[in-house]
Each structure stands twice: as structure tokens, then as C-alpha cells.
Chains A and B, each alone.
Chain A
Amino acid sequence: MQSTIRQFLKDLLTRNSSAESMRWLEDQVARIKGAKGDMKLFLAFSQASRHFSRERLGLTASDQSAAHEIRPGFQPGFWTVMQTARTLLVLEALTEENADWVPTLDKLFESADMNELEALYAALPLYPFPEKFKKRAAEGIRTNITSVFDAVALNNPYPSEFLDEPAWNQLLLKAIFMQRPLYRITGADTRANVNLARTLVDYVHERWSAGRNVVPELWRFVHPFADEEIIGLFEKVLQQGGELERQAVSLACFQAEAAGCKALLSRYPEFLEPIESGTVSWETIGQAFDAER
């Protein structure tokens, strides 16, 4: 699988960079493989910024589906050319046979600047032995630098596949706190859990007491555990909330299995109709909220 990933990234990169940049990259790979120690890798990893652009990769629909086939959930459409080059350098240097994977990557993480951190975290799902990076991913979620947080949390299949429940719940809570677009968290629905839902309910009360709103997408992670109290919150939003919040709660009610939710929603047919016709979804709500900010 690793060699398929490397070849795929190399093809994407070749189409998105000059022949000169690719020659530099190949030269660096040869040097890295020929040298003892990690210093050549560290230098090339940093200096990739001098040879590759910060533009997004240009991806066709078939590239995107190929990416998904090679590694389910892998979305290089959100990657820059430079981060692709950096990832390729790391994957070329640290092949499966190399026992020093983790300490070398630790050093790269510890000395990385912002763009480098983005590359390292976004590539978590591509590393061999991905289970060895659970703590690192949890550390990434603690950052206050938005772009770095996004690299771990958004459009990345790693967290939903590998994080344990406490770390996963931190990711969701922090994404809400930082007002990140939750619909871009890969596989989020599969990790809904009752502890998360209870914490979110507490959070809703705290925000409302302080005279503040909550991110509409939050309700997506509450509805699977709808009980009387939660249905009461839904009702309050449907009565008093803004347009987007009411859409979100309607969708939550629609998807919830609790009988009380269906009954509640039946009193608001104007919200039910666009959900049934597919014009309102978590994506449209998330995008509309992002656009409003």
C-alpha cells in the first residue's frame, strides 16, 4: 500500500509542479537515502517551501476517487502542492522497513513551523503503523493555531478511525469552541456517543446562560441520544432560535429515533419539507453558518 501511495502522490505532484522542482525532489530523496542520520531529511523537509507552491493541488474527479480507493477517506483536494512534496519526502525517507519511524517523525513534529505541522498532521492516515500516532494526533488537537487544528480535524480520516473516545470528544468540543465547520470532520457520525452528547447539552446550557448562541451543527451529535430533556431543548430552539438553528434542530429531530422528536417536528412542516426534498442537509447548514461569520 505504501508504494501505491507514494506513486499516487508523485503523479499528482508531477502534474502540479515544474520539472525543475521535481528534479530537486528526486535529488533530495537520493541524498536522504544515501545519508546516515536524519539531517538531510530535516533540511529537505523545510526547504521544500523554496521549490513548491502553496497553491491547492489541482485534482480531477477521477483523482479524488483514486485517492479514496488507495486510502478510504483520503482527500488530497484540500492539500497544497508544498505539503504534498513534504509528505512524499517523509514517506520516501521512512519506509515500512525503517525502525526509526516514530523518533524521526517526533523530531520533525517538535521542530516544525506552522505549514510543516499542517503537512505532518494531514498525512497521519498515510503513515505505516498509524496506530502509533494516537498520542500525536491528540496533541495536535490541543493547538490554538487554527490551520494546524484543521489539518488534524478536518477532511482527515485518521481521528474517527484511531482516536479513543476521550480524545475524539475533545476534538469535537474544541472544533465547536473554535467554530470550525463540523461537516468537514470525516466519519463524525460514526463516533457519536452518549458522553459527548451529555457534554454538549451542558455546553448549550452554559452558552445560553451567558446570553450566547451555539453552533447549529452541534445538534447533529446530540440527537442520537435524544431524551426528554434534549427534546425540550429542541423545542426551545424551534420556538425561539434563528433560521439556521431551527433548520439544524429540525434536521436533528428528523434523524433522531426517539418518538418524541417526530411528534415535535410534525408541528413544523415548513422545516420538514426542505429536509425531505434534500435541500437542507448538515453540509448546507454548515456552509451557510460559515458564510454568515
Chain B
Amino acid sequence: MMYIDPHIHVTSRTTDDYEAMQKAGIVAVIEPAFWLGQPRTKVGSFQDYFSSLVGWERFRAKQFGIVHYCTIGLNSKEANNEALAEEVMELLPLYVGKEGVVAIGEIGYDDQTAAEDRFYRLQLELAKEVDLPVMIHTPHRDKKKGTVRSMDVSEEHGLDPKMVIVDHNNEETVKEVLDRGYWAAFTIYPHTKMGSERMVEIVRKYGPERIIVDSAADWGISDPLAVPKTAALMKEKGIPEAHIEMTCYGNALTAYGQSGQMEEKDWLEKEPIDQTKKHGGNTVLRGGQKPRVDNDSSNIIEN
């Protein structure tokens, strides 16, 4: 089966992860622009980060047979540095129109401050202007209220719920998100967000419509194989194959495909992985390193 991980911060993952993801059936990933674990202090750091999302990381993923998309946005945590946030807002129009940018995101609330609210609203307007979907990050603390508020404000700005993906849901938020017509994404992230067993029960209870599974794997203890592992667990626990396909592949494609920047043929018709031909010398293959050939375990490292 093919999988999409529609929320993963692959810039913080190793090439081993990419290899494992590709082997597990992940064909495409979406990397939302987020913070880096430590707040940035200069607008140039944002610019280089956005450039790496549409440049180097996309190239790196391709070398492992995975198609990389991204979302561009100012995250809620860093919206609290208002002077810097204003500069970042000026930068966004440079990036939102680029190929493979499938949404404005991840945006929304963290502490639910006035500054967060201001930049969330500005970015909803930007999404409308460029006709892109929105990926909403819902807060860890005071989640239920924050989730409801995210949707209220989005509606206040006139966004169609079908263009909005609300992420990091749980058992407490899912019903209202679905009832109001939004896409409900779930992040399988150990200890803080969801476990895969809970996810299985949610799909059993609510069915597969508009439900999306992702990993949000990043620089923390997280699992880049969360989507294929959850799919395997669903299968084990008797969830119908078609429902697994929708929640772990098809729905993400439909939701983010509304950008016009993501199509199934991007991975179905892509060239086979050929690290020698496309990337030569010193890219991810250093020096005379031999390209991936699935060699058996041995202490010999290729010359």
C-alpha cells in the first residue's frame, strides 16, 4: 500500500529515516513550516528556512524516492515576537506561490495571545488571496477551546471549511471539527499527542471521511513511520482496507490537492530512484560512496 505522511518535519530527520520511510511505502510527505525548537531572532533565519523547504530538502527527499511538499507560514509560537513576525509576513508572499507549496501553515494558536490571533488572521487572509488550503496547528494546552476558536475565526474570515485542515485532534475535538465540515488530522506522536491504538478506535467510531493520519515527526522523540505503523495496526484490528487507504493516503491527497500543487502522478510517474545518475559526486553521496543497493550487513563501508 502507498502512504502519505502529510505532516512531518523531515529537515530534522536522517537519511536512515528516509530510507525506512520509503521501504515502508511512504511515497510523499508534506513538511509544514514550523519553529525549530528554539526561537529565531532574525528574519534571515526564516528566509533560509523557507528556502530550504522548497530547495535542498525537496532535493534530498527525491534522492530517496519520496516526493516532498511543504506548507509556508508563520507559526503561532514565533508570532509572539511581533517585530520579527511583521518582517516574516513581508517574506511570505515570496514563498507561497512556489511549486509544491500545498497550504498556508502550520498556523493558529499556541498560548492563544493577542499577537497569535493577529498573525493567524493575517495569514487566513493571505490563504484566501492565493487560494491555498490552510493547515491549522491546534494548541497543546487548552486544546478544546483553542480548536473551536481556530474554526470560529477562520469562518469569520470567510474560509470554506473544506479548504482547512485542523491538525493535532483528539477524542475531545474530533466530533465538532468533523460536524462543522473541516478535515480532521491526527498526529501519532508518542506521549504528547496520540497513540496508534487510540487512532484505530477513532477511525472505527467516526469512519474514514475527512480523517487524516500524520506523524509530525521532528527533532523530538517521534516516529517517522507513524503512518504506516498505524495503518498496519488498523489492518490487524479489522479496519476495512478502503478506510485505511483513505485515512493514510487518499484524504491527504484530496485535501492538499486542492492547492493544484500535488497530484498522484507526481509519484506514480516519477523516475525510478537513481542516485548515481541524478546526483553524482558530493550530494548526499559523499566522495566515492556507492549508491543504495540494499547490501547485507557488513563492516565494509564502500570506497
Which residues of A are in contact with B by a Cβ distance under 8 Å? 39, 42-43, 46-47, 49-50, 107, 110-117, 144-146, 177-180, 210-212, 293
Contact = CB atoms under 8 A, between A and B. Distances in A.
B283 A146 contact: yes
Contacts of B59: 114, 145
Contacts of B58: 113-114
A293 B54 contact: no
B94 A49 contact: no
A42 B94 contact: yes
Contacts of A112: 51, 55
A178 B50 contact: no
9 contacts: A42-B94, A50-B260, A110-B51, A112-B55, A113-B100, A114-B55, A179-B280, A179-B281, A212-B303
B56 A113 contact: no
Given A144-B282, A146-B278, A177-B282, A113 B94 contact: no
Nearest to B70: A113
B12 interface: no
Contacts of A178: 280-283
Given A145-B56, A146-B280, A293-B276, A113 B98 contact: yes
Contacts of A107: 94
Among B58, B91, B280, find the residue whose CB has the most chain A CB atoms closer than 10 A. B280
Closest 7 CB pairs of A and B: A46-B97, A113-B54, A178-B281, A179-B280, A178-B280, A111-B94, A177-B281
Given A42-B94, A50-B260, A178-B282, A111 B51 contact: yes
A112 B98 CA distance: 8
A99 to B, nearest CB: 22
B303 A211 contact: yes
A42 B95 CA distance: 9
Given A43-B97, A50-B260, A113-B54, 10 more contacts: A39-B93, A47-B97, A49-B98, A49-B99, A107-B94, A114-B55, A144-B283, A145-B55, A178-B280, A210-B288
Contacts of A211: 303
Given A178-B280, A178-B281, A212-B303, A115 B99 contact: yes
Interface size class of chain B, counting residues whose CB lies under 8 Å from the partner chain: 20 to 34
Interface of B: 47, 50-51, 54-56, 58-59, 91, 93-95, 97-100, 260, 276-283, 288, 303
Nearest to A290: B277
B279 to A, nearest CB: 5
B265 to A, nearest CB: 13
Contacts of A50: 260
Contacts of A110: 47, 51
Among B99, B260, B277, find the residue whose CB has the most chain A CB atoms closer than 10 A. B99
B54 A114 contact: yes
A32 B148 CA distance: 41
B97 A111 contact: no
Among A43, A46, A115, A212, find the residue whose CB has the most chain B CB atoms closer than 10 A. A46
Contacts of A293: 276-277
Contacts of A113: 51, 54-55, 58, 98-100
